[in-house]
Amino acid sequence: MRFGRRKQATAVAVAVIGGLLGPVVPAATAAPAVPGPPAAAPDRADASLPSVWPRPQTVKASGRTVPLGTEVTVLAGAGADPYAVDALRTVLREAGVTTLHDAFPGRGPVVRIGGPGALEALRVLRAPDRADLPSGGYRIASGPVAGRDTVALDGVGEDGLFHAVQTLRQLIRDGAVAGAVVRDWPSTAVRGTAEGFYGQPWTHEERLAQIGFMGRTKQNRYLYAAGDDPYRQARWREPYPAGHRAEFRALARKARAEHVTLGWAVSPGQAMCMASDGDIRALTRKIDAMWALGVRVFQLQFQDVSYSEWHCDDDADTFGNGPRAAARAQARVASAVDRHLAQRHPDAEPLTVMPTEYYQNGSTEYREALAAELDDRVQVAWTGVGVVPKTITGRELAGARSTFRHPLVTMDNYPVNDYAQDRIFLGPYTGREPAVAIGSAALIANAMEQPSASRIPLFTAADFAWNPRGYRPQESWQAAMDDLAGGDAGTRAALHALAGNSAASLLGGAESAYLRPLLTAFWASRAASGPERGEAARELRAAFTVMREAPERLAAPAEGRLDDEVRPWSDQLARYGRAGELAVDLLQAQARGDGAGAWRARLELDGLRERIKDGGTTVGEGVLGPFLDRVRKESDGWNGVDRDSGTVTEDADSYTVRLGRPRPVDAVTVLTDPGGGSADAVLQAHVPGEGWRGLGPLSASGWTQASTKGLRADAVRVSLPAAAPSFTGTRAPLLPGPATGAAGPRVRAVVPWFGDEPAAGLALVRGETDAVIGGGPQRVEARLAGRRPSDVRGALTADAPEGITVKVPKRTTVPRGSRTDVPVDITVPADTPAGEYQVPFSFGGERSTLTVRAFPLPGAPIWPVRARRPPPETRPRTSRRRPRRTAIPPPAGPRPWRTAPGGRRSWRSRCGWARWCCAGRTRTPRATACRSRRTAAPGERRPPCARAGAGASRSGWTRRTPGSSGCRATAGPRSSGTRCGRWRRTRWRRGSGVTGRRGATGAARRRRRTGGRQAWSPRSPDAPDGAHADTPSIRASTSSAPNGWRYGSQRGSRCPVPMIRQARPLGGAGGWRSRQPSSGRWRSALTWLQRRQAATTLSQACCPPRLRGMTWSTLVAAAPQYMQRPPSRAKSARRVRGTGPR
């Protein structure tokens, strides 16, 4: 069951390393500050129906409600479960029924439970058929039968009727039975709780109460496996004392009445000679004795057994050493005990074995040997993959079942807390897939040492085990808290606060989740004024008040036992609640300018923080503590003690702060303990050439502020009436302050406010931002920090360069000693050239600069389509050598088509996405291009293919319409010595007669391919007449860039052009090196925009004037979506002839 003591530290260490004890992604919402109505099941057909837990498989509204009144006739069928009938009578009396009739006709409405009468009533009420309901299933229906209000209950198996009564109890509201039809059954046959923790075992009364709770929540297994019970471990041979035996008998009676099977686990460990038949007989005698006490299920635990240490020499001689030996020994004992149970008690359930390797993953020597040696009837227990796993999946369950080859009992170590005794885990049961509940022979949750508090997570675990597919952790958790708290609203609020601040665990969950939005709203309202700030403060303070009052409000639940169990945590929660109230009061007083009130709250808050540190328990981890830390920093900033004011010197009669040089001082703040002879102390300033000048007495409140109106001084001091030890430091200490004598006040800090420093600090949350040319505004936060003894008011100004628009608030107020975030919107108009721009900001004498990187709109064509002829001297020479035409036909079978913008499709090849093809067309295995006319995609600047009459060539699409000019790129055949094809750049001009007709001679093809000219310079459509880029030829110089790319730069321009990889890797960088053709120059890549638009025109390699000013870093950062790295050659085995970039 629960892991041994020596394994606890390891498990917790692993959890901490994995970050599971801290705040995590929330698995459930925490309690609201003020509790709402009880949680409801959202899958009900009618929202008017009361909620039922565990959540039924099917429930729907039908007919009208049945008022019960004071008299009811109860008709029990022959053979009806007597415990269910007794439970029904109890439910009716709790609903206000005073008289119960046992014979027909009786008086009042009729309640039929079991027997033919109930079956007939269910038929009349049109309830679903029983059909294949499993054991534990039931049906309920209500409505008129033969002119009389009737409620009918029918169940399957020994506990079906009992489960029906538990659902009926929840359907009764305000003295009436809701009109509903229920057909319900358990998804997991065995659902229960284990007392398997290490620590103080539960008392007998606590166990009886727990059994009653299990009956109400439809659990049917209680496993006694107390970690510190010697009579089930080292002293397992000895019988229990008489008092313990009496308690077991009473517990068994209670369990039978609640339809709960009582189980007992024995852990002989290494205190048993497993090769001894005598020891096995002693073990079976102990099991028979426990059977006589009412125990009906047994578990044999070997979780702490060593592979190499035996209790007797016979074990080593018989089994040897190692994992296989231990497995054989344990299997011998377990099989013998299981055979004994089957022979002596034929109705006994199979024995369960907790193996030594109960949380590992996969197959091992030990597991293989144990699976082979165990009798087939024996069940094997496990805890999932890990001692306290965050998740348990159906795949993991299936793997463990295939390894052990026996039915699995899932023993889940939640909410047990013996490995983290400063915590109580009150969050919901999460992280388990429905297949775990459905596929397990039993699902048992291990409880905490606090039984009443354990009911919250155990309630949710029971809900999950009953109906895992309909389980909703948040709603189940709310219902669990309402169930434990009862009907008192104050108790519900306190319990919600305790559970909400104790929800995080190794399973996940967000600590203090209900407080987080309140804290966020409170901090956001600090920049506001008036009602908004006050409302946020009131809501947060109300939540803290609930926490402070929690210990008194938790006295009633669970007959008062809950208060005793959780008192350490509720007291800690109350301390945090009072600290939170003081924190809110402190900040509100500072906002009003009430320094004395804020200082009183600060002193009390600091004392509470010390008590919280000594509390020894953990609540609200990661939320409450950081909130108080932030409030403390806000207080320090408001009082000015977070700045270096000078050197502090204490002597017999003064507390002095030396400023180092004469400086203008606007004000001086003094913090002392309240009272303590403050009236006798005097605040003074040392003026050069004049000496000490009095500024006034200290206030008895402990907070004093004297206005000096720019007085130039080189020191300030508090003159004390009594001597004190000497002290010298570099800054004023705040808490604890040095003693200054019994007659004078205890000085905590003396803070001068200087007039020669900026009125506020200015810092940008981020120093650079990217903005799309012609796009929407980009928001940047400017953080202002006040450095004056009063609020700083002014305007944040921006000196924006031409082409950049900056929007800032007209007026900004920075509260004293606080930080204020001011939103700044940056917009780049459409006619702004791309590049980097510096935007200086200033406020209160402080300056800061923002770098704005402007880039074109992503996804829009950023290269022009039309081209003009460059001067002859700039035309590059291009090799006319044609690559070898080596066909690489595509493989047969279905291809991984993908849809491209505009409805075109492409397929995957070894070199990446090969070619854009026409929508709705296919491709034959021998063809290398789409056999259909290609049309333009919506929004394209120019159709990539010809108008009517376009055709396909071996190397890709061609243009048959002469009399036009522009650029085109086609996919050529595979290059010699490489695995990928090369891209060919083609130019044509008016009248060139480019047709691309198949069968033409090589010379004709070359003429058509080049159009008689090799180079054209493009011109941007929006550029002035005569403006054009230089030649698009590429120099052999390259520049390394991120993501394994290598870039080249165009001759005579600053336009960067990407160089796509070829077959050879670029050593160590994960990228590839461009292949250099025989012509001696570098070819540019034509697939930079293949994610956003069809890569079919040479314009991709051309540079419009508006991009010339962009640097490498600007382009890489501004358009990362264009920088897609081609996939590795090893990722695909498909080959398509004539594809791939060069």
Query: In sequence order, which residues have a C-beta less than 8 Å from that of residue 11 and are 6 or more positions away?
Result: 3, 386, 387, 388, 419
- What pLDDT shows up at residue 868? 42
Quick: pLDDT tens for 788-802. Answer: 999 999 999 999 998
Quick: pLDDT tens for 822-833. Answer: 999 999 998 888
Which pTM value belongs to this model?
0.72
- The mean pLDDT value of the chain amounts to 76
Would you place residue 312 in the very low, low, confident or very high pLDDT band (cuts 50, 70, 90)? confident
- When pLDDT is averaged across residues 54-60 and rounded to a whole number, the result is 96
The highest-confidence range among 683-692, 723-732, 931-940, by mean pLDDT, is: 683-692
Q: Name the least confident of 109-113, 916-920, 1114-1118.
A: 916-920
Would you place residue 953 in the very low, low, confident or very high pLDDT band (cuts 50, 70, 90)? very low
The residues with which 265 forms a beta bridge, in sequence order, are 299
Tokens representing residue 568 in the block: 């350490």
List, in order of start, the domains of the chain with CATH numbers.
58-184 (3.30.379.10), 191-484 (3.20.20.80), 515-639 (1.20.58.460), 647-754 (2.60.120.260), 760-855 (2.60.40.10), 864-1142 (no CATH)
The larger pLDDT score, comparing residue 875 to residue 690, is at 690
Q: Name the least confident of 249-253, 402-406, 635-639, 652-656.
A: 652-656
- What pLDDT shows up at residue 746? 86
Q: Which helix (H) or strand (E) holds 551?
A: helix 550-553
Q: Which helix (H) or strand (E) holds 251?
A: helix 242-257
- What pLDDT shows up at residue 653? 83
Would you place residue 666 in the very low, low, confident or very high pLDDT band (cuts 50, 70, 90)? very high
CA 869 to chain centre: 59
- What pLDDT shows up at residue 873? 52
Angle at 205 between CA 203 and CA 211, to 5 degrees: 105
Would you place residue 245 in the very low, low, confident or very high pLDDT band (cuts 50, 70, 90)? very high
Q: Give yes or no: 347 in active site.
A: no
| HSE, side-chain direction, 13 A CA sphere, residue 65 | 15
DSSP state of 704: E
Distance CA 73, CA 394 (A): 47
3-state secondary structure 985-1013: EEEECCCCCCCCCCCCCHHHHHHHHHCCC
The larger pLDDT score, comparing residue 231 to residue 927, is at 231
Candidates 132, 288, 304, 563; catalytic one: 304
Q: Are strands 71-76 and 110-113 parallel, antiparallel or unpaired?
A: parallel
- What pLDDT shows up at residue 113? 96
- What pLDDT shows up at residue 721? 60
Question: Is pLDDT above 50 for 1072?
Answer: no
| HSE, side-chain direction, 13 A CA sphere, residue 92 | 27
Q: Quickly list DSSP for 472-537.
A: -HHHHHHHHHHHHHTT-HHHHHHHHHHHHTT--BTTB--TTTTTHHHHHHHHHHTTS-THHHHHHH
Burial of 762 (0-12, 13-18, 19+ CB in 10 A): buried
- What pLDDT shows up at residue 680? 77
Tokens representing residue 304 in the block: 């702490």
- What pLDDT shows up at residue 983? 34
Distance CA 998, CA 184 (A): 73
The highest-confidence range among 287-291, 646-650, 755-759, 762-766, by mean pLDDT, is: 287-291
- When pLDDT is averaged across residues 1043-1062 and rounded to a whole number, the result is 33
Strand, coil or helix: what is 113?
strand
Tokens representing residue 776 in the block: 């929407």
Distance CA 398, CA 396 (A): 5
- What pLDDT shows up at residue 358? 95
Q: Quickly list DSSP for 681-697.
A: -EEEEEETTTEEEEEEE
Residue 65 near residue 177 (C-beta atoms within 8 A): yes
Query: In sequence order, which residues have a C-beta less than 8 Å from that of residue 588 and are 6 or more positions away?
Result: 537
Residue 88 near residue 113 (C-beta atoms within 8 A): yes
**Which one-letter amino acid corresponds to residue 1065?**
P
Residue 851 near residue 953 (C-beta atoms within 8 A): no
Distance CA 72, CA 100 (A): 5
- When pLDDT is averaged across residues 525-546 and rounded to a whole number, the result is 88
Percent of the chain at pLDDT > 90 equals 57
Distance CA 94, CA 172 (A): 10
Tokens representing residue 515 in the block: 């407080």
Largest CA distance in the chain: 116
Q: Name the least confident of 33-42, 424-433, 518-527.
A: 33-42
The larger pLDDT score, comparing residue 665 to residue 929, is at 665
Query: In sequence order, which residues have a C-beta less than 8 Å from that of residue 1015 and are 6 or more positions away?
Result: 870, 874, 875, 876, 878, 987, 1031, 1032, 1033
Helices (H), 614-656: 624-639
The larger pLDDT score, comparing residue 30 to residue 475, is at 475
- When pLDDT is averaged across residues 1093-1097 and rounded to a whole number, the result is 31
Distance CA 118, CA 675 (A): 80
Distance CA 690, CA 711 (A): 12
Residue 950 near residue 962 (C-beta atoms within 8 A): no
- What pLDDT shows up at residue 544? 98
Question: Is pLDDT above 50 for 696?
Answer: yes
Quick: pLDDT tens for 993-1013. Answer: 333 333 334 444 444 343 333
| HSE, side-chain direction, 13 A CA sphere, residue 558 | 27
Tokens representing residue 41 in the block: 């099941």
Residue 32 near residue 496 (C-beta atoms within 8 A): yes
Residue 754 near residue 640 (C-beta atoms within 8 A): no
Question: Is pLDDT above 90 for 241?
Answer: yes
Distance CA 398, CA 413 (A): 19
Candidates 1031, 1108, 1083; CA nearest to 868 is 1031
- What pLDDT shows up at residue 46? 56
Question: Is pLDDT above 60 for 596?
Answer: yes
Q: Which helix (H) or strand (E) holds 604?
A: helix 595-613
